[in-house]
Amino acid sequence: MGKPIRRIDLRSFLRRSRSRRGRIGSRKNARKIPKGVIHVQAGFNNTIVTITDVQGQVISWSSAGTCRFKGPRKGTPFAAQTAAGSAIQIVADQGMQRAKVMIKGPGLGRDAALRAIRRSGILLSSIRDVTPMPHNGCRPPKKRHL
């Protein structure tokens, strides 16, 4: 006769495997971040706001799409303002007081997102436009023959 098959209680197995993995809960509220960098990427179809610490690790982010705007409404200034407000609310609870702002892209949400950031109460040390500009650009397509 062979060995009997051991029965494993699923709850205790999951509890054990979870404790081996390391941290169980969320670490978002544990850190206090006094300074940070707010990246606003404003395209024609969406606006993405990412907030990082000084080292570049993402603390929170939001976009017009995650704020339940669909289709062409994602590219509007109001959607950008809502996205910036929801991203900043998380870091304001963690104690962020100062921030640099990096704005990228040609979209309509640039100014609206910046207005929402200013209204949040976080002191802005600098505002930079980091939109990539081509020095000479790509090679143009060949001329059309008619």
What are the tokens at 118? 């200013």
What string of DSSP letters covers the chain?
A: --PPPPP--HHHHHHHHHHHHS--S--TTT---SEEEEEEEE-SS-EEEEEE-TT--EEEEEETTTTT--GGGGGSHHHHHHHHHHHHHHHHHTT--EEEEEEESS-THHHHHHHHHHHTTPEEEEEEE-----SS-SPPPPPPP-
The b/e string for 101-136 (b: 16+ C-beta within 10 A; e otherwise) is: bbbbbebbbbebbbebbeebebeeeeeeeeeeeeee
pLDDT at 5: 75
Tens of pLDDT, residue by residue over 21-43, are 555 445 555 578 899 999 999 99
Which segments of the chain have a pLDDT < 70?
1-2, 8, 10-30
What is the reported pLDDT for 7?
Answer: 72
Residue 33 one-letter amino acid:
I
Domains of the chain by start residue, with CATH: 35-129 (3.30.420.80)
pLDDT digits (tens, 9 = 90+) for 106-123: 999 999 999 999 999 999
The reported pLDDT for the residue numbered 3 is 74
